Amino acid sequence: MGLRQRVRDALRSARGGWISGQQLGAALGVSRAAVSKHVKALQQEGYRIESATRKGYRLRKDDDPVSAVLLREALRTRALGQVSISYRVRTGSTNDDAKHAASQGAPHGSVFLADTQTAGRGRLGRSWISPPGVGVYISVILQPDLALGDVPLVSIAAALATAEAVREQTTLPVRIKWPNDVLLCDKKVAGVLTEMSADMDRVEYVVVGVGINVNTPSSALPADRLIYPASSLMVEAGERACRVAVVAKWLERLEHWVDCLVAQGGDPLVRAWQEASGSVGQQVCVSTAKETVEGRIVGLGEGGALTLKLADGSVRSILSGDLTPD
Ligand code: BTN
């Protein structure tokens, strides 16, 4: 075992207590400077190690690190995250990081991960509150062989993957609210932001980002969503989940659904989405940029559009908007 892992294990065995650099150095047979160097590297990897003069170091009890090293160990994918995983303790937005890298030629499957975002973005110009140490904030560059009209189905793939990653952590009811919010016990715990760059007939790249409130305490959750209030896995289930396990599962399932979309088209995703949303037949109200439409959900149509049957019997397809139950 390398020195870094031994420093980490010594801090873990102290169970949240302080150990001085001198004690750590003596226990591991190295200098205090060597300890300090490895503590810095562990902090960069995502471990929540605090340091204080005269006290030394301690690993926070709620430590649940996310890092490139840990994700690589947990990852069971063929392509996603296999070429590059960029981890930052703090960034503006992982979607922005991914888009910037994609414009510089970063390849399919490049992953961008952060412990906290200072300018996390949501759909429809909203922000995504991204406190450190508790949530998952990840974006991935995809260059799927897809027609432009099928790109919205990548969001559906990401929503399915998110619901599956959440479902793996809990037996509580998980469902998808159109287009790609994930609700746990009818509260929003995750959302997907898909952005793309394309020319007239070719998709250059798609960036899919997901934010998942994993161990977020209620005090750090946004309080402004009235119909589906924000929540987290921890708040709903009453126990902490492992963020790296959630991220690894999300990438694995995203790869599955994107591969499925490219190989078989949208039908399997649409069927899975309809099942996971449980919303077919529901009477809803959808606000788009131009209008508000009321109707009963028929399902997902071409390119992932929501198909509604209106009171006058006509059928309307909506590609983007905000849905509320009637
Ligand atoms: C929404 O429900 O409005 C979508 C939220 C998407 C948030 C994620 S967090 C990782 C990635 N980076 C961002 O700035 N946004 C997405």
**194 CB within 6 A, ligand 1:** no
The pLDDT value given to residue 225: 62
Long-range residue pairs from 96-102, CB within 8 A, at least 24 positions apart, any chain: 96/121, 97/139, 98/139, 98/140, 98/141, 98/207, 98/209, 99/195, 99/197, 99/207, 101/141, 102/141, 102/197, 102/204, 102/205, 102/207
179 Cα: distance to centroid of ligand 1 (angstroms)? 14
Higher-pLDDT residue of 140, 16: 140
pLDDT, tens digit (0-9, with 9 covering 90-100), for 89-112: 899 999 999 999 999 999 999 999
What is the distance in A from the centroid of ligand 1 to the CA of 4?
Answer: 33
Mean pLDDT of the chain: 93
Q: What is the pLDDT of residue 226?
A: 65
- Give the distance (Å) from ligand 1 centre to CA of residue 51: 31
Does the pLDDT value for residue 298 go beyond 70? Answer: yes
For the Cβ of 120 lying below 6 angstroms from any atom of ligand 1, the answer is: yes
CB of 187 within 6 A of ligand 1: the answer is no
Residue 188 has a pLDDT of 95
Residue 75 has pLDDT above 80, yes or no: yes
C-alpha 191 to ligand 1 mean position (Å) = 6
Residue whose CA is at the smallest distance from ligand 1 atom 16? 209
Indicate if ligand 1 lies below 6 Å from the C-beta of 137.
Answer: yes
Residue 56 CB–ligand 1 contact under 6 Å? no
For 208-253, what is each residue's pLDDT tens digit? 999 999 999 999 998 876 678 999 999 999 999 999 999 999 999 9
Mutate to test the pocket of ligand 1, among 116, 136, 193, 323 (most ligand atoms within 8 A of CB): 193
Model-level pTM greater than 0.85? yes
24 and 8 Cβ atoms separated by less than 8 Å: no
Q: How many CA atoms lie within 13 A of 209 on its CB side?
A: 24
Is the beta carbon of 180 within 6 A of some atom in ligand 1? no
Residue 162 confidence class, pLDDT cut points 50, 70, 90: very high
For the cut 90, the answer to whether the pLDDT of residue 269 exceeds it is: yes
pLDDT at 199: 85
User: In which element (H, E) is residue 285 found?
Assistant: strand 283-287
